[in-house]
Amino acid sequence: MSLPLNVDVVIVGAGPSGLACALALAQRKVPFVIVDALSEGHNGSRAVLMQANALEALEALHPSLASELVAAGTPSAGLHTVDIFERPLFKVHMSANAPYTRYPFSLLIAQHDVERLMRTYLSRGGNDVQWKKRVTDVKETDGGRYELAFESGEKVKARYVVAADGSKSTIRTFANIRYLDPTTNAPAEPSPNDLSFVVADVLFASPLPPNIPRDALRMMIAPEGVFLTAPLKINHSTPSDTTSSNVSPDGNLFRLYIGVPTTPPSRPDAAYLQDIINARGPGSHLKDTREGKEKGVTVPKIERVLDSGRYRTRPALAERYVTRSKSGAYILLVGDAAHKHGPAGGQGMNLGICDGCAAADAISSSPLSSDSTLDAYSTARRSIAAKVIAMVENMTAVERGGSGWVPWLRVSCLGLAFRLPFVNSLIAWQVSGLVYVRPKGQAKA
């Protein structure tokens, strides 16, 4: 499919943020194209948690999209944290949000399933993603347009360019917007302190040991770092050949997210992952205790690794979200192009989906969006991202584990605090992201 020579909006990047912006522009009947460098949509093993704010934002565009997402995932009413002997440390009861939202849970769903459903709704409106379209250059032109050059040799002029092209954003670089460490305001550079972790989608052999919940997310905190298990449903876009007849539809598919102190292999295999499970995964320390023996606890065995990868993260925040050319064209940053942080608390994709919807609102707010509307977008979304990054950094400190009295004191204080219902309900409201949408105590209008 070839690109138009001229269009109001080009969205660069068809991850969750770009897709949300596209769905919102389509609803407002603003002409746009959405392009991606990939040959098809698959974003690897990344997000697994969707929060109420993103579900409500998508519900506002297509109520049935939100319900299809819920049906494709597993609602986790609480986020359980346990120690290496699987004794409860603390639990965030997301169900505390029940009076105020239709989504009083964190939804366990793989990012590729979220993107697949968003693309389905976009296609229904006649707006397909244009794949294999890598932007290689952006120039200012006269007449209130940016001109984008593509690897394919094509050129497109647009009044608005939405940079939804991820944390290494090409468009952000062309726009000359710095990506800064939110604490020091210095350029965000890799550091030995960056959190290193592996993420893998694995099928565990049956029967599944009784200590691994199939309906909730569970984090084990060991001195070496976090070991998180999130049950996933097997859907059509599950990677590898899991949709073939050799895997039952309710197979033991889990997303593992494991903090590792040393550099892991780029594609962790079953042997590497099993070694970590045996050393500090579910069952590893409980199985030899009296309680473990009574409950029949064993260490789960990996039958197959469907997908795996390694990540290192450090927070970064764009110094501004909008830039304007001399002739009055605009670049707007959304999603990871504008901010990044660790995966603790499952916030990045949600923030990106809400950025995408807010960018579409700003673009479509009047026939010719003014500087003040776009500045308001930049200020509001950047300030939310800064708050989310601060929350995620606190959660990351817990996920790092470590030994000594500081980590012990930290989890002990959290254990005590979360017993207080008002603390739990404040944190649940914050994790849901609804804190940035409306005051607590209000249901959706």
Ligand X SMILES: Cc1cc2nc3c(=O)[nH]c(=O)nc-3n(C[C@H](O)[C@H](O)[C@H](O)COP(=O)(O)OP(=O)(O)OC[C@H]3O[C@@H](n4cnc5c(N)ncnc54)[C@H](O)[C@@H]3O)c2cc1C
The smaller minimum CB distance to ligand X, of residues 102 and 134, is found at 134
268 binds ligand X (CB under 6 A): no
| Size of interface with ligand X, in residues (CB under 6 A) | 34
Judged by beta carbon, residue 287 or residue 339, the one nearer ligand X is 339
Q: Tokens 């950047």 identify what position? A: 382
Closer Cβ to ligand X, 137 or 241, answer by number: 137
**Is residue 109 a contact residue for ligand X (CB under 6 A)?**
no
Among 9, 12, 247, 363, binds ligand X (CB under 6 A): 12
- H-only helix segments in 157-312: 170-174, 270-280, 290-295
CA distance 359 to 34: 14
Nearer to ligand X, 16 or 225 (CB): 16
Residue with tokens 């539809």: 249
Q: Which residue has the tokens 């927070």?
A: 315
Between 149 and 299, name the residue whose CB sits nearer to ligand X. Answer: 149
Cα gap 363→360, rounded to integer Å: 5
Supply the Cα-derived Rg of the chain in whole angstroms. 22
Stretch that binds ligand X, among 35-43, 200-208, 232-240, 433-441 (CB under 6 A): 35-43
Site stretch for ligand X (CB under 6 A), options 42-50, 94-102, 419-427, 428-436: 42-50
Peptide bond into 207 cis (omega under 30): yes
Residue 346 binds ligand X, judged by CB under 6 A: yes
Chosen residue from 166, 182, 225, 401 binding ligand X by CB under 6 A? 166
Report 182-241 residues binding ligand X (CB under 6 A).
199
Residue 318: strand, helix, or coil = strand
Nearest to 44 by CA among 280, 307, 223, 221: 307
Stretch near ligand X under the rule CB under 6 A, chosen from 13-21, 174-182, 323-331, 378-386: 13-21
Instruction: Give one DSSP letter per residue of 330-347, joined into a string.
Output: EEEE-GGGTEE--STTS-
The least CB distance from residue 128 to ligand X, in Å, is 15
Single residue of 46, 112, 119, 159 touching ligand X by CB under 6 A? 46
β-pair partners for 257: 199, 228
Contact range with ligand X by CB under 6 A, out of 21-29, 283-291, 344-352, 395-403: 344-352
Answer for which of 343, 396, 431, 435 binds ligand X (CB under 6 A) is: 343
User: Between 165 and 399, whose beta carbon lies closer to ligand X?
Assistant: 165
Q: Output 286 or 358, the one with its CB closest to ligand X.
A: 358
In angstroms, the CA 233 to CA 108 distance is 9
> Interhelix angle for 371-399 vs 405-417, to 10°?
110
Collect all residues with Cβ–Cβ distance below 8 Å to 148 and sequence separation of at least 6: 10, 12, 135, 137, 138, 155, 156, 157, 158, 161
Tell me the window of 118-126, 203-211, 343-351, 398-406 that interacts with ligand X (CB under 6 A): 343-351
The Cα–Cα gap between 437 and 439 comes to: 7
Rounded least distance, CB 135 to ligand X, Å: 4
Residue 350 in contact with ligand X, rule: CB under 6 A: yes
Q: Does 348 bind ligand X (CB under 6 A)?
A: yes
Residue from 56, 59, 165, 224 touching ligand X (CB under 6 A): that is 165
Q: Which of residues 288-317 bind ligand X (CB under 6 A)?
A: 311
The distance of closest approach from Cβ of residue 148 to ligand X in the complex, given in angstroms and rounded to an integer, is 9
Q: Compute how many other C-beta atoms are within 10 angstroms of the C-beta atom of residue 191.
A: 9
Please identify, among the stretches 177-185, 236-244, 346-354, 364-372, the one whose residues bind ligand X according to the rule CB under 6 A. Answer: 346-354
Question: Which backbone phi and psi does 175 adopt, to 5 degrees?
Answer: -75, -5
Output the CA–CA distances (angstroms, integers) from residue 445 to 36, 102, 133, in the order listed: 35, 12, 40
Contacting positions for ligand X (CB under 6 A): 12-18, 35-38, 43, 46-49, 111, 134-135, 164-166, 170, 199, 311, 335-336, 343, 346-350, 352
